[in-house]
Amino acid sequence: MTFDFGFILQVVLKIIPYVPVTLYMAVVSLIIGGALGLLVALARFYQVPGLSQVMTVMITVLKGVPLVLVFLVIFLITSQNFNNVAKMLGLHLQYGDLPMSLLAIIGLSLMAMVGLSEAFRGAFESVKLVQFDAARSLGMTTGQTIRRVLVPQAFPVAFPMIVNMLINLIKGTAIASLVSVVEIFSAATQAASSNYKYFEAYIAAAIIYWAMTILIERGAHWVELQLAKKMERAIS
């Protein structure tokens, strides 16, 4: 079987311009999903009546479906209703005017929310009960306890899982072509479509994904060291 190294390089160069859109979708989804996940985790941790149960059901439902399905459902719902809703709101917008990366971000944010809410919940559980008693004895409100006691101590515990989620999101963007976003993976398959050198194109895509993942892991390792230093200082 012949193997075209030159073509791998060609494809790598062709897909590098799609790195920003991939990172943009992953990072924005991580931020939105992280914020939502934090809210969900807090609601469940403090067992807010009603809300906690609703969140539990929602997380269970979302956890049980593959991302592909989430993407398709989002596409069908938005494409069928957007024009009518826009008209009702008096907006002069058509479905086609929407940047499609927005749909991918909605889907990926949901995925991040599910994953991170569980990560946060686990991290919250790791904070010792004594800490809450101490906070209460100082007269802190629940809000203050969350901001000054719970989150600062839970964050370093959740951090590796947050980084892991970012990497998963980057890989998750590979199916964004389902909602017509051109990213690294679809650019690579497109490059191979006329000469059928799929194998080479896939390797090129893998090289880019590897490079991104390695850089993120290195960066995360550095941040983790800093966090550990800070924690040490807090304890001693």
Q: Which is nearer to another protein, 56 or 83 (CB)?
A: 83
Q: Is 197 an interacting residue with respect to another protein (CB under 8 A)?
A: yes
* Span interacting with another protein, options 42-50, 95-103, 109-117, 216-224, rule CB under 8 A: 95-103
17 belongs to the binding site for another protein (CB under 8 A):
no
Q: Does 100 bind another protein (CB under 8 A)?
A: yes
Q: Which of the ranges 25-33, 94-102, 115-123, 162-170 carries the binding residues for another protein, by CB under 8 A?
A: 94-102
- The span from the CA of 206 to the CA of 115, in Å, is 24
Nearest-5° angle of CA 80, CA 86, CA 90? 155
Q: Can you give the length of the chain in residues?
A: 236
| CA–CA distance, 97 with 16 (Å, rounded to integer) | 26
Q: Considering only residues 160-189, where is the footprint of another protein by CB under 8 A?
A: 177-182, 186, 189
Site residues for another protein, 60-89, by CB under 8 A, read: 72, 75-76, 79-80, 82-83
CA distance 30 to 40: 15
Query: How many other CB atoms sit within 10 Å of the CB of residue 141?
Result: 10
Cβ atoms 181, 104 nearer than 8 A: yes
* Cα(89)–Cα(230) distance, integer angstroms: 49
Q: How far is the CB of 177 from another protein (least distance, A)?
A: 5
Angstrom distance (rounded) from CA 187 to CA 185: 5
| Contact between 43 and another protein per CB under 8 A | no
Residue 38 CA to residue 2 CA, distance in Å, equals: 51
Q: Which is nearer to another protein, 159 or 202 (CB)?
A: 202
The residue within the footprint of another protein, chosen from 13, 141, 198, 222 (CB under 8 A), is 198
Task: By CB under 8 A, name the binding residues for another protein.
Answer: 1-2, 72, 75-76, 79-80, 82-83, 94-96, 100, 177-182, 186, 189-190, 192-199, 202
